[in-house]
Structure 1
Amino acid sequence: MECENCRIETEKGTSILNSIKSHTIHVQTNGGKIIGLGSLHGNTDIHVTGESSVNIEKLQGTSISISTEDGLLKTKYLYAESSFLSSAAGDILLGSVHGDITIETKTGNITVDSADGCLKASTHQGMIDVYVSQGKNIDLKSQKGSITVKVPASFKAYLQLSGSKVDVSPEIELKEIQSAPKDGHITITGHMNQLNDTDQWIKATTQNGTIHLKSQSWFQSIKLQVP
């Protein structure tokens, strides 16, 4: 379906959106599911409340904004210059994402199968699991949960990892490592496959959890993606 502006509002029930192309797409529900089949192409604003969930195959546009309260937020492909995804208590599961993306949840977990661009993700109690394929700047924060960062073996970045424990896989070689333990907390900084350049960086911070840095190939990330 193609139109200039698409607006959908429901109270209950399931809304199935099948391949919509529009300048703006606005969807709101207070008690139902939002399911997107095919592609939603346009500047998209989706807001659901209660236990309503959002599950969309592909999102593409200049600006994407999606918020849930207790329900799951899931999309397989996201292409946008700027995206803001949030949930109070629901998990946020993303497949392949591109562009500048901000993700926020209070108690839910955050999973990103593949990030290409700038990513900022934060959760208070949940865990974060991200594979960075070609990310520019990655900023991950969790107050109580653990953070797992997976990168290709050839990835180049400045790393700053801070948590109650920092676990770096042996196949990852960091240069110019500095370790600063303080009050049961440790911060490790170093360069991966480069020296002195800090234009591309990954920062992962958790107050009470563990930071895991692992090596993973692009092919492995494809095999592990959630269907």
Structure 2
Amino acid sequence: MTQAERRHDRLAVRLSLIISRLVAGETLSVRKLAAEFGVSIRTLRRDFRERLMYLDLEYQSGYCRLRTAGSEMQMVPDVLIFAHRSGLAGLFPGLDRRLVNALLMCDEAPCVIPPASPASSPSEPLSFWRLVQAITDRRKVTLLADGQRCERLAPCRLLIHQQTWYLIAEHNGHIAVFTLDEIHLVQPLQESFRRNDNLCRLAEDPVFIQALPHFRFIQQSLLAFVPADNRPE
């Protein structure tokens, strides 16, 4: 990873943490943030002035807060967009503004969803974020997983099944499936790819999803009947 890429990763993590705290209603001290992230106060002010300029921020005596923080009604559209783009909307029958507002305004949790996955390792959040970006931007990646390195891999979908996140991708014209737990490194590339609509539809097929835990075994079993000269690299 180059120095520029490491700097970009640190910036992305810093901004995401700042945004999450602001949305939670916290009042942030610029000086304390600079010490926490190991950057100068000037850098933090640039973050707020240029990179977070779209937020409705209020500054006073070295502190910053979101003017609209705590307003559930203004959060409703964002919650709906997140739910639909993440695929969570289907968990709630008739998810709309009225339901989201009811959930945001209540003092207790009327809905219980068991934890979807075990605690993540420190490397997983960054890998997950990079894969989401690569899928969205349609950029190939170099992926390092247990026992193998995949160059110029085209990520298609991330989906969760039986408490495990899976990456569905295309590599050298073939389907590739990885669990997030076995992915150690995701290196974004500048090379773009054209989305494989057939693979995207397959990733949404319930039968395919049910077979994900056994995908690698099935693939290896099928390869055993293919002549060595015709096997994919």
- TM-score above 0.5: no
TM range (shorter): under 0.3
The structure richer in strand per residue is 1
- For the pair shown, the structure with the greater C-alpha radius of gyration is 2
When normalised by structure 2's length, the TM-score is 0.22
When normalised by structure 1's length, the TM-score is 0.23
